[in-house]
């Protein structure tokens, strides 16, 4: 019964989508209020999709194994929290969550934009319904979460153990809010082009949706990084995993777009570039969906390995790109700038946008190049951190300097650069501190000095800007947070330490300045897994630290996962990860010291808080 309700709700939502497309075309040129039938249909569609999602959620809660998605991704021994998160911890359920957010966002758009041009609102609904229709067809015909199993099994196969984690349970919904928010940006931009409505009023509305997407994407990426840090035992926060890259690319675009909407809102400049960025954010989000859903990418994050699903998404993505390109070239008026951009706030934003697009290009090439190489030559390669570090870090230095200087410039009328004595002193101080750090820690002196000094200079400037009343509070908070984030990442990468050894119970070994002891191991049955908890002592300069890393042996499915033991302080994390060496009595013990990890997480949260402050101000 539940499967029928969920399935028919999706079919009715699809019919409602076709009705909305018809009503949108019919009422496009209406100058009166928004057609009542459109409002009712959008509300009905949201309710139907919500019913469908809640039906799937309830099926997971009660372990209804007549549902194929529940059977493949749940088990009666699973804790209730992970039964619930199992709803979106699979391909079919995650797509239904995508669809739910799409429908909720268009409902919010309809009821929050009553003062905007009616034809623009109707066209935005039309383009958004094209996206919703595509997702409904995709779900119903290739990824239906309500397929039946006859006869009904008595037990399920269980959720992937590495997904059974609180951070990862809330990571996908938050990330999807970021991804799906870009759909409204996409639809709104196409509608604005057709209606010749790319003005300050539209920019102000677009900025709200950009902020919403940017905030959720920032938080979603951060949660994913935290999960990978302690769950996978990799001992870091970013690994240039292909699916990590997929989430980072639209973030670059959103960050650039956020600054461009400020220019358009204030000065009516950069219209074409704003449109290009707005369209690109959603196209990148959809491209990520294609790469993840097709099974092309090999990652712990991927949901599916089905070429047919990948072909559907690729065709859908191609159609969206062709529509957006056609509308852009048909309706876009190339703006002619008659005033100089030299040494203005606009110029700083444009230059930093170029850097953002360069970073995006590096990540894009590093992600898709191995795919094309395999198709052409059948050769498999992986692109790792050295590629990204060598191409991104040198350009990060001028990017940070321009980011520090840009907010001080005036809008287009500025005639001279105000090089105050304080700024010069802060620059000299930044270089001096950076040189001392690089010299004392035996890193590459010139390279590290430039990199650290650029980050420190941005930090010092951001701190002094906190008392600058001309700058927005959201900008001050976000720029300060970003400077702390960059400094923390740089120092973390330069000064991390790691030792690794294989030991039996009762053994110890001296490695460099660290003595590692494998003291004991205990066994305990917990819920749906067996816990093997080791007691590891790490002694360094007469300081003794006790760690209790864990191995979890899951029964359904049969999998072994490793849980890191982490001791966190303001300035560093100490962590130990153990792995079982098959057919031996040895454990591989890896100890790592990771400086400034807490500051990385806190600065990412602070970055999102800056966005929230800006969002609150824009909704006044």
Chain segment 493-539, per-residue pLDDT in tens: 888 888 999 999 989 998 888 999 999 999 998 877 888 999 999 99
Supply the mean pLDDT for the chain.
85
Among 374, 402, 418, residue at a domain's last position: 418
Q: Is the pLDDT of residue 544 over 70?
A: yes
Q: Are residues 181 and 156 in the same domain?
A: no
Question: What sign has the CA pseudo-torsion 404, 407, 410, 411?
Answer: positive
Q: Is the pLDDT of residue 309 over 80?
A: no
Q: Is the pLDDT of residue 360 over 70?
A: yes
Question: Which range in 129-138, 468-477, 537-546, 549-558 is most confidently predicted, on average pLDDT?
Answer: 129-138
For tokens 């009616």, the residue is 118
Residue 461 resides in a domain: no
Cα distances from 398 to residues 352, 416, 457, in angstroms, run 9, 20, 11
Q: Are residues 169 and 155 in the same domain?
A: no
pLDDT level of residue 134 (50, 70, 90 thresholds): very high
Domain of 564 in residue numbering reads as 497-598
Residue 616 resides in a domain: no
Q: How far apart are CA 166 and CA 84, in angstroms?
A: 11
Q: How far apart are CA 597 and CA 590, in angstroms?
A: 18
Q: How far apart are CA 88 and CA 561, in angstroms?
A: 21
Q: Is the pLDDT of residue 617 over 70?
A: yes
Q: Is the pLDDT of residue 233 over 80?
A: no
Q: How far apart are CA 247 and CA 463, in angstroms?
A: 29
Q: How far apart are CA 213 and CA 183, in angstroms?
A: 10
Q: Are residues 235 and 354 in the same domain?
A: yes
What pLDDT was estimated at residue 359?
94
**Rg of the chain, C-alpha, whole Å:** 26
Q: Which of 125-134, 181-190, 194-203, 300-309 has the weakest average pLDDT?
A: 300-309
Residue 612 resides in a domain: no
Residue 358 resides in a domain: yes
Q: How far apart are CA 520 and CA 522, in angstroms?
A: 7
Closest alpha carbon to 102 in 83, 84, 124 = 124
Q: Are residues 170 and 146 in the same domain?
A: no
Among 387, 418, 449, residue at a domain's last position: 418
Q: How many residues make up the chain in this entry? A: 620
Q: Are residues 141 and 173 in the same domain?
A: no
Q: What is the DSSP letter of 541?
A: T
Q: Is the pLDDT of residue 218 over 60?
A: yes
pLDDT level of residue 322 (50, 70, 90 thresholds): very high
Q: Are residues 234 and 352 in the same domain?
A: yes
Q: How far apart are CA 140 and CA 42, in angstroms?
A: 19
Q: Are residues 12 and 145 in the same domain?
A: yes
Q: Are residues 143 and 264 in the same domain?
A: no
pLDDT level of residue 591 (50, 70, 90 thresholds): very high
Q: Are residues 63 and 80 in the same domain?
A: yes
Q: How many domains does the chain have?
A: 3
Q: Which of 189-193, 255-259, 555-559 has the weakest average pLDDT?
A: 555-559
Residues 255/53, Cβ–Cβ less than 8 Å: no
What pLDDT was estimated at residue 414?
47
Among 388, 418, 448, residue at a domain's last position: 418
- At residue 325's C-alpha, the angle toward residues 321 and 328, to 5°, is 140
Q: Are residues 247 and 274 in the same domain?
A: yes
* Token pair recorded at residue 445: 């002196």
Closest alpha carbon to 246 in 280, 303, 286, 305 = 286
Residue 481 resides in a domain: no
Q: Which of 124-133, 153-162, 244-253, 324-333 has the weakest average pLDDT?
A: 153-162
Question: pLDDT tens digits for 456-481?
Answer: 999 999 898 888 777 888 888 999 99
Residue 442 resides in a domain: no
Stretch 560-585: mean pLDDT, rounded? 86
Residue 478 resides in a domain: no
What pLDDT was estimated at residue 41?
94
Stretch 381-400: mean pLDDT, rounded? 87
Q: Are residues 144 and 178 in the same domain?
A: no
pTM for this structure?
A: 0.90
Q: Are residues 256 and 370 in the same domain?
A: yes
Question: pLDDT tens digits for 32-62?
Answer: 677 888 999 999 999 999 999 999 999 999 9
Residue 617 resides in a domain: no
Cα distances from 496 to residues 148, 414, 436, 477, 578, in angstroms, run 51, 44, 18, 28, 19
Stretch 368-373: mean pLDDT, rounded? 81
Q: Is the pLDDT of residue 290 over 90?
A: no
């Amino acid at each position: 019964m539940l499967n029928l309700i969920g399935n028919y709700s999706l079919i009715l939502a699809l019919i409602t989508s076709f009705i909305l497309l018809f009503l949108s075309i019919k009422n496009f040129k209406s100058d009166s209020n928004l057609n009542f039938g459109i409002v009712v249909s959008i509300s009905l569609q949201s309710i139907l999709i919500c019913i469908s999602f809640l039906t799937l959620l309830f099926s997971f809660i009660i372990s209804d194994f007549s549902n194929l998605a529940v059977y493949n991704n749940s088990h009666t021994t699973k804790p209730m929290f992970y039964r619930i998160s199992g709803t979106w911890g699979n391909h079919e359920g995650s797509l239904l969550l995508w669809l739910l957010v799409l429908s909720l966002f268009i409902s919010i758009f309809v009821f929050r934009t009553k003062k905007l041009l009616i034809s623009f609102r109707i066209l935005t609904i039309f383009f958004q319904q094209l996206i919703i229709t595509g997702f409904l067809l995709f779900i119903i015909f290739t990824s239906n979460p309500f397929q039946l199993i006859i006869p009904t099994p008595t037990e399920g196969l269980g959720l992937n153990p590495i997904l059974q984690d609180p951070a990862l349970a809330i990571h996908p919904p938050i990330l999807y809010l970021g991804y799906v928010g870009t759909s409204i940006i996409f639809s709104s931009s196409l509608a604005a082009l057709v209606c010749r409505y790319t003005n300050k009023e539209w920019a102000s509305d677009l900025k709200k949706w950009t902020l919403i997407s940017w905030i959720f994407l920032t938080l979603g990426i951060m949660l994913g990084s935290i999960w990978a840090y302690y769950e996978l035992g990799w001992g870091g926060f970013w690994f240039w995993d292909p699916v990590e890259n997929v989430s980072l690319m639209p973030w670059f675009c959103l960050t650039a777009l956020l600054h461009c909407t400020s220019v358009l809102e204030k000065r009516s400049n950069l219209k074409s570039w704003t449109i290009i960025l707005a369209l690109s954010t959603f196209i990148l989000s959809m491209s990520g969906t294609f790469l993840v859903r097709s099974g092309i990418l090999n990652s712990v994050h991927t949901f599916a390995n089905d070429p047919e699903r990948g072909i559907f998404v690729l065709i859908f993505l191609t159609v969206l790109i062709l529509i957006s390109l056609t509308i852009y070239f048909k309706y876009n008026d190339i703006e002619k700038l008659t005033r100089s951009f030299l040494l203005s706030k606009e110029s700083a934003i444009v230059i930093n946008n170029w850097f953002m697009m360069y970073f995006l290009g590096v990540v894009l090439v590093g992600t898709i190049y191995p795919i094309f190489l395999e198709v052409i030559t059948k050769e498999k390669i992986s692109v790792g951190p050295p590629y990204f570090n060598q191409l991104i870090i040198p350009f990060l230095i001028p990017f940070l300097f321009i980011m520090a200087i840009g907010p001080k410039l005036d809008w287009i009328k500025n005639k001279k650069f105000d090089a105050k004595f304080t700024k010069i002193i802060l620059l000299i101080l930044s270089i001096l501190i950076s040189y001392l750090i690089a010299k004392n820690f035996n890193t590459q002196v010139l390279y590290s000095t430039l990199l650290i000094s650029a980050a420190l200079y941005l930090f010092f400037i951001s701190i002094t800007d906190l008392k600058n009343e001309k700058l927005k509070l959201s900008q001050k908070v976000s720029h300060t947070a970003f400077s702390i984030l960059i400094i923390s990442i740089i120092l973390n990468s330069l000064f991390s330490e790691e030792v690794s050894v294989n030991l039996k119970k009762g053994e110890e070994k001296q490695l460099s300045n660290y003595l590692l002891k494998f003291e004991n191991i205990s066994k305990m049955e917990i819920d749906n897994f067996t816990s093997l908890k080791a007691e590891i002592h790490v002694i360094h300069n007469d300081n003794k630290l006790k760690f209790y890393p864990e191995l979890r042996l899951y029964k359904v499915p049969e999998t072994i996962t490793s849980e890191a033991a982490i001791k966190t302080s303001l300035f560093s994390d100490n962590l130990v990860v153990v792995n079982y060496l098959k057919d031996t009595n040895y454990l591989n013990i890896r100890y790592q010291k990771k400086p400034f990890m807490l500051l990385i997480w806190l600065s990412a949260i602070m970055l999102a808080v800056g966005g929230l402050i800006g969002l609150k101000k824009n909704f006044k």
